[in-house]
Structure 1
Amino acid sequence: MSMSTADDPNAVAEQTLSDAEYRERLRDLPPSAKLVAKVLESDSPLSQGQLAEESLLPDRTVRYALNRLEDVDLVSSRYSFRDARKQVYYLAR
């Protein structure tokens, strides 16, 4: 039987990153991922299209940056409440 994150007392500790841990995970990522993270710090949640508009990066580059951020557990996503066909992204700090 698996535990949900609400039942696991260690889940909160795993989900909360200190500034030092956050910066360390971000350090080796490409500049596009750093820019997308910075945009999400100031305004989130955002869709991939909104991130492309805010960062002035091409859609393909934003998609790559989001994948890299997800690989190091810095970004999470959920379905948009306004349009369930879209996903919105936010920092997982």
Structure 2
Amino acid sequence: MLGRKVKLCDMYRRPVASGIVMAEEKSKIVMGKKLGEEYLEIFVLIAYDPDAPLFVRDRDRETIKDAIGSHIIWFRDFVHLEEEI
């Protein structure tokens, strides 16, 4: 999925943002956490639901609108290729 455009979904499987997969390496640390088996590093492009909460928050980013233009981590199970939705 590296470099692919994806949709980020919330816990109800509704798309909340679009982004690009930047990393999948399990040992990479993003937002203070290892990606491991659970997460992907995503560059957030567009918010569909700007007020949707991030799964992992930090001091500066709590919602999707805070993350536009930055790299975040998102649960792999809630990341879908653009053409899958």
- Give the TM-score normalised by structure 2: 0.26
Q: Of Structure 1 and Structure 2, which has the larger fraction of its residues in strand?
A: 2
Larger Rg: 1
In proportion to residue count, which structure has more helix?
1
